[in-house]
């Protein structure tokens, strides 16, 4: 079958390799343009671009497919079908209609659950027990087309987004080859109206760990955002990513380290951090991380969303009460006159507001 392939990231590469190995005539590969990357900020081709070049396939990387010229060039390929997997551009109707058998999308969820851009991490973060791949006939709506083939895989208690990414990419590569082989006998199944959810792109704020959340929620957040962008907390003013965790036993104020194995108390239960990464450093298992960054039991982690650790509440109270006292004292001094004693008292109060909370946080 004559195929136009459209994809960009690593997730798309197994499908390209599978179609090529199955003997399909790949007329052209469409992908996103090269973009600056690395320390030198040199243009780097996408993973699909690199894979296509290695296979000797022609590659196009238009910025848009909206222009008449771009659409005419696509139609001129006279493809039987277009295979689309994480391409990264919205396809105009003229593109969807150009191939003789239309455009087929490899989508990494069990539709209609998790339509949209980030289905894998959303499935993990939501606590889904299974996910899968659907081969869908594309139409104008966002992942709304009828499904030609689907297959499921369980989400294990230790699975990260990286684990599922690789598993689902391989599943998609196998399934698209099977779909094209059986295309004439596969009736399109409309998606049910019930159970529709959307996998919105991740907001940066969602990566900050809130230790006041239940341990199961924090664990799913860590696994869902591993390896990228990585859930994180702050310790001593430095941001630390957590790339692995398991549920554990224990309780204390949220954010408290409970033992020498990096078990951290959450709002309900606890988790043990198994893999961490400092900014600018490589990822390490917990034992290696602790050798370079000792964190004894009783240490409190900063919780970015709540704004406090358990041992940050008292200094915060000191600041509030001391600030109120200082305001009252200055008001009285203005009424009766400062004098040297009054000035010294004000300076001493300001010093206490700075030094006491800082000292407390270092404990």
Tens digit of pLDDT per residue, the chain (363 long)?
Answer: 999 999 999 999 999 999 999 999 999 999 999 998 877 788 999 999 999 999 999 999 999 999 999 999 999 999 999 999 999 999 999 999 999 999 999 999 999 999 999 999 999 999 999 999 999 999 999 999 999 999 999 999 999 999 999 999 999 999 999 999 999 999 999 999 999 999 999 999 999 999 999 999 999 999 999 999 999 999 888 999 999 999 999 999 999 999 999 999 999 999 999 999 998 899 999 999 999 998 899 988 655 444 334 444 444 455 555 555 555 555 555 555 555 555 555 555 555 555 444 444 433
Contact residues for 307 (Cβ-Cβ < 8 A; gap 6+): none
Q: What is the distance between the alpha carbons of residues 296 and 190, in angstroms, rounded to a whole number?
A: 56
Q: What is the distance between the alpha carbons of residues 111 and 147, in angstroms, rounded to a whole number?
A: 8
Name the architecture of domain 204-307: Roll (3.10)
Residues 257 and 263: beta-carbon distance below 8 Å: yes
Question: Model's pTM, two decimal places?
Answer: 0.82
Q: What is the distance between the alpha carbons of residues 203 and 218, in angstroms, rounded to a whole number?
A: 16
Instruction: Domain 2-199: state its class.
Output: alpha beta
């Amino acid at each position: 079958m004559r195929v136009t392939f459209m994809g960009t990231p690593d997730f798309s590469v197994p499908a390209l390799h599978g179609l090529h190995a199955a003997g399909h005539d790949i007329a052209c590969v469409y992908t996103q343009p090269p973009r600056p990357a690395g320390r030198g900020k040199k243009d780097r081709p996408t993973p699909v671009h690199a894979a296509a070049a290695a296979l000797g396939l022609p590659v196009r990387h238009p910025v848009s497919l909206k222009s008449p010229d771009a659409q005419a060039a696509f139609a001129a390929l006279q493809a039987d079908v277009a295979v689309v997997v994480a391409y990264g551009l919205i396809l105009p109707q003229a593109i969807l209609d150009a191939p003789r058998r239309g455009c087929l999308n490899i989508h990494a969820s069990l539709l209609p659950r998790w339509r949209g851009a980030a289905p894998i991490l959303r499935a993990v973060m939501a606590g889904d027990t299974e996910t899968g791949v659907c081969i869908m006939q594309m139409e104008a709506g966002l992942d709304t087309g009828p499904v030609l083939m689907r297959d499921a895989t369980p989400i294990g208690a230790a699975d990260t987004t990286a684990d599922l990414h690789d598993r689902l990419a391989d599943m998609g590569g196998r399934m698209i080859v099977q779909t094209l082989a059986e295309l004439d006998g596969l009736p399109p199944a409309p998606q049910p109206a019930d159970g529709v959810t959307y996998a919105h792109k991740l907001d940066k704020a969602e990566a900050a760990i809130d230790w006041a959340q239940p341990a199961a929620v924090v664990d799913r957040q860590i696994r869902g955002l591993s390896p990228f962008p990585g859930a994180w907390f702050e310790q001593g003013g430095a941001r630390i990513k957590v790339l692995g965790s398991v549920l554990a036993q224990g309780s204390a104020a949220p954010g408290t380290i409970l033992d020498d194995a990096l078990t951290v108390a959450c709002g309900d239960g606890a988790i043990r951090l198994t893999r961490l990464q400092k900014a600018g450093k490589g990822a390490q298992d917990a034992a290696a991380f602790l050798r370079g960054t000792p964190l004894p039991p009783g240490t409190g982690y900063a919780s970015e969303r709540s704004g406090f650790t358990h041992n940050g509440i008292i200094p915060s109270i000191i600041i509030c009460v001391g600030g109120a006292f200082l305001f009252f004292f200055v008001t009285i001094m203005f009424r009766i006159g400062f004098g040297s004693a009054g000035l010294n008292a004000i300076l001493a109060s300001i010093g206490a507001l700075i030094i006491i909370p800082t000292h407390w946080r270092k404990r």
